Amino acid sequence: MKKELILAGVLLLSAVSYGQKKEIKKAEKAVNSGNYSEAMGYLSEAEGLLESADSGVKSQFYLVKGKALMASAGSDVGKMKLASEAFAMAKEVDVEGKNTRAINNEKQALKTSLESGAASDYKAKNYKMAANKFYTAYSLSPADTLFLFNAALSSKIGNDFDNAESYFLKLSDLGYTGMQKQFMAVSKETGLEEPFVSKSSRDLMVKAGTHVKPMEKMSESKRETVLLSLAQIYIANEKSEEALEVINQVRMANPKDLILIQVEADLVYKQGNIVRYNELMQEMIALDPLNSDLYNNLGVANAKLGLKDEAIKYYNKAIELKPENPGALINIAVLILDGEKEYNEAMNALGTSKADYDRYDELKAEKITLYRSALPYLESALQYRSDDVDIVRTLKGIYSQLGEDAKVKEMKTLLTTLEEGQ
């Protein structure tokens, strides 16, 4: 009796296995005929019995499921991800390697489709969709880290900073450089080095006589791009400490890189660390002493630190190097006019004695001198920013204090014209 029961069990398992194989075969035939919904129906029937199936049947099931999903995906990246997961599962359970070649072929087809679709989406500025496809291609083939880099870059451009942070951080952890061997040769026509997609294509051109001096070079590393992008995303996600840590890591290898110093300077300025900003501006000026804008920025930093005389010195240096620097001209005028508050407070605090009246006249004269010292800077700034309403309003007020009625009228007319044009 026991032997009969065992035999019945074996027969039952064989029947189940046969049924699964039959449904999977039907599904594969439906996929090949383009009947994807029908194929998924057959696979659904087979899936309920999958737990008892052998590894070969399971692998075939996931392989056909991946093919059905991929063939019906179109531009649906969600289905492409499911297809990728199905192929991964097919490979995982294929312990005997019976489906290895078929799985690899389908994975390659899916990867090619994802790459092509991602490139088209990127060109059409559908950056989030492109990022999804690039990352799915990377998940399908983790050795192809270029897909991960493209996913990170697309996410960043598409302002998807959460995914961009995740992808760039993963690239950083992987030590990604993106360096590749390039096959080069010098063009006889231009005398310049030109890259080729392969060694054979380069050698063909050399043999044809259009190029000489065949060579091999490594492309430039993208390591710095990855780290700087990660820092920028940290800043966008308001993670300033993490950003600063990454920037310092990059700067260790490039301590005199002006762009890197500027990135750190912008960050510490945003943090309110004006002392460190001041130090970084000094570093930049030492490296680029004729840059007018750097002196202007240094003036701003010193003004924030309350070092008025130092700020004015730097603003004047900026103007000396570049007279048509309206930013520096306005900044120095604002700093000079800031002293108006002290005069107003002192004048308002005076009493009605003769001594107070005399002191009032003295302070008023000093305030007029202050207006006159700021005036040339604002007049020069207006030459370069003739449509700046704030400059015109300030000039109108100063001319009024100085009693220059013709100038007041001129500014009123200009102000009316500018306001009507807004």
At 136-168, the pLDDT tens digits run 989 888 888 999 999 999 999 999 999 999 999
C-alpha 304 chain-centroid distance: 30
Predicted pLDDT of residue 223: 87
Predicted pLDDT of residue 11: 35
The mean per-residue pLDDT over the stretch 302-320 comes to 91
- pLDDT class of 228 with cuts at 50, 70, 90: confident
Residue 127 pLDDT > 70, yes or no?
A: yes
Residue 36 pLDDT > 70, yes or no?
A: no
Contact 396, 411 (CB under 8 A): yes
- pLDDT class of 267 with cuts at 50, 70, 90: confident
DSSP states of 133-150: HHHHHHHH-TT-HHHHHH
The pTM of this model reads 0.61
Predicted pLDDT of residue 46: 66
Per the structure block, which two tokens stand in for 203?
């050698």
Looking up tokens 């499921």 gives 65
Q: Which residues contact 359 (CB under 8 A, 6 or more apart)?
A: 350
Residue 320 pLDDT > 90, yes or no?
A: yes
Most confidently modeled of 114-118, 220-224, 233-237, 379-383? 379-383
Predicted pLDDT of residue 10: 39
pLDDT digits (tens, 9 = 90+) for 41-62: 767 776 666 666 777 778 888 8
C-alpha atoms less than 13 angstroms from C-alpha of 363 in its C-beta half-sphere: 18
Which residue type occupies 347?
Answer: M
Residue 85 pLDDT > 70, yes or no?
A: yes
Predicted pLDDT of residue 132: 92
